[in-house]
Amino acid sequence: MMKMKTVLVIINCIILAIGNCGGPLMTRLYFRNGGKRIWFSSFLQTSGCPIILLPLLFSFLTRHRKQEQEDTKTTLFLIKPPLFLASVVFGLLIGFDNYLYAYGLAYLPVSTSSLIISSQLAFTALFAFFMVKQRFTPFTINAVVLLTLGAGSLALHADGDKLPKETRKEYIVGFAMTVAAAVLYAFVLPLVELTYKKASQRISYTLVLEMQLVLCVVATCFCLVGMLADGDFKNQEFDFLFIVQELRREAREFKYYCVVVAFTAVIWQGFFLGSIGMIFCASSLVSGVLISALLPLTEVLAVLFFREKFQAEKGVSLFLSLWGFVSYFYGKIQSEKEKRTQEAQLSQLQVTESVA
């Protein structure tokens, strides 16, 4: 059982790393090459959810083969109404969060957006403390403070970080939208963990995948409605043929449009599946820490691929963020050592009492 959980942790870390680093780069690539549709960009972040059907099909066939030997009926889905409704709520929140994040990324460099998102850990820790009674150590508190200061330092010098042809107002709005996205997603992570703890049915990884599928379908539909209703495609008849025509028109503005769109959908799915999976394997705070811990790699990739500026403020922010990551993981290592020492002492005490 522990070996399987270790495998799941490794798998989720890998797909979270791919999604967390690649997702923002692909979204920014869409806007850099002429993409202008924020709701469509939000839609892409969860529209890759049909991929989840593959592991779900494998899980169903495995369960079916096992239960066939036991002569019992295999249910197609494990999810029950309470968790289904909870997943619908999560989907609505994630759909709105996708819009906030896409709006911010339309007006911010990836490196700046990623550094702002690192402040999410502070909010995740705060919500986790009140919602799931997360235990804090001095190292955890130190990490949260450093990450918050790191993200806040970016607000000190906005003018030098604006994109070409971007106004100061657009930059500030993009900054505010990204902060709002960080806060909202930080609220969703402990909420998912709380749902796992309060659920009346046993939480398995298959059930986590089913919840993720429902969540993403709802979030995708939310963004699709926003696309139709709020100006991405101004057509009162909600004609899907019209939408296709508009997207084809946009596709003519740069090469490899379809490749960018497809990879954006697939890579972002890795982020959501990895973050939700890590909550199942560990906790919402660990998921938040891993998301923030991947910041340096995203930062470097943005500078390399998009030639983004790297001002002193970003250097300070990156230093504080890395310091925060080191503090958190050092604290975790120390906590694990203390836990193993206490367990060894307790075991030795029990042996001594047994001999006596």
**Measured distance CA(114)–CA(112) in Å, rounded:** 5
Residue 12, pLDDT above cutoff 80: yes
The pLDDT of 164-168, averaged and rounded, is 71
Look at residue 158 and tell me whether its pLDDT is greater than 60: no
State how far the Cα of 116 lies from the Cα of 110, in Å rounded to an integer: 10
Q: How many CB atoms lie within 10 A of CB 260?
A: 19
User: What angle is formed at CA 153 by the lines to CA 95 and CA 173, rounded to 5 degrees?
Assistant: 40
Q: What is the percent of the chain with per-residue pLDDT over 70, rounded to a whole number?
A: 88
Residues 6+ apart with CB under 8 A from 104: 113, 116, 174, 175, 176, 177, 178, 181
Closest among 87, 69, 70 to 78, alpha carbons compared: 87
Please write the tens of the pLDDT for every residue from 268-325.
999 999 998 888 888 887 888 788 777 777 877 887 888 777 777 777 777 877 787 7
| Residue pLDDT, tens place only, 56-70 | 998 888 888 887 777
What is the pLDDT averaged over residues 185-207? 91
**Cβ atoms 90, 191 nearer than 8 A:** yes
The pair of three-digit structure tokens given for residue 219, joined into one six-digit string = 């979030």
- Highest-scoring range by mean pLDDT, 23-27, 94-98, 127-131: 94-98
Helices (H), the chain: 2-32, 38-46, 53-69, 81-107, 110-117, 120-131, 138-152, 168-198, 205-229, 240-251, 257-281, 284-293, 295-306, 312-355
- Which of the residue ranges 194-203, 225-234, 287-296 would you say has the lowest mean pLDDT? 225-234
Taking CB atoms within 8 Å and a gap of at least 24, the contacts of 71-77 are 77/210
CA distances from 228 to 41, 214, 224, 269 (A): 13, 21, 6, 23
Share of the chain above pLDDT 90, in %: 28
**Residue that wins the pLDDT comparison between 254 and 1:** 254
Mean pLDDT of 16-42: 88
Mean pLDDT rounded to a whole number for the chain: 82
Domain carrying residue 179: 2-355
pLDDT above 90: residue 177: yes
Total domains present in the chain: 1
Q: Is the pLDDT of residue 11 over 80?
A: yes
91: which residues sit within 8 A by CB, 6+ positions away?
214, 215, 216, 217, 218, 219, 221, 222
| The pLDDT of residue 266 | 94
| 194 closest CA partner among 289, 82, 279, 89 | 279
Mean of the pLDDT values across residues 134-150?
75
- The answer to whether residue 231 scores a pLDDT higher than 60 is no
Give the pLDDT band of residue 7 (cuts 50, 70, 90): confident
Q: Would the pLDDT of 137 be above 60?
A: yes
Q: Contact, 144 vs 122, CB < 8 A? A: yes
Extract the tokens encoding 274.
Answer: 């990895």
Among candidates 308, 320, 319, which has minimal Cα distance to 113?
308
Looking at residues 134-156, what average pLDDT do you find? 72
User: Is the model's pLDDT at 219 over the cut of 90?
Assistant: yes
pLDDT number for residue 318: 76
Are the C-beta atoms of residues 116 and 154 closer than 8 Å to each other?
yes
Q: What is the pLDDT of residue 235?
A: 54
Q: What is the pLDDT of residues 205-218, one digit of tens each?
A: 899 999 999 999 99
Is 35 in contact with 250 (CB distance < 8 Å)? yes
- Residue range 119-138: mean pLDDT, rounded: 80
The pLDDT of residue 207? 92
Nearest to 55 by CA among 220, 278, 207: 207
Residue 160 has pLDDT above 60, yes or no: no
The pLDDT value given to residue 1 = 53
Half-sphere exposure for 198 (CA within 13 Å, toward CB): 11
Angle at 181 between CA 176 and CA 182, to 5 degrees: 100
> For the purposes of burial, counting CB atoms within 10 Å of the CB of 231, is it exposed (0-12), middle (13-18) or buried (19 or more)?
exposed
The model's pLDDT over 22-32, given as tens digits with 9 standing for 90+, comes to: 999 999 888 88
42 within 8 A of 94, measured Cβ to Cβ: no
Whether residue 291 contacts residue 16, with contact meaning beta carbons closer than 8 Å, is answered with yes
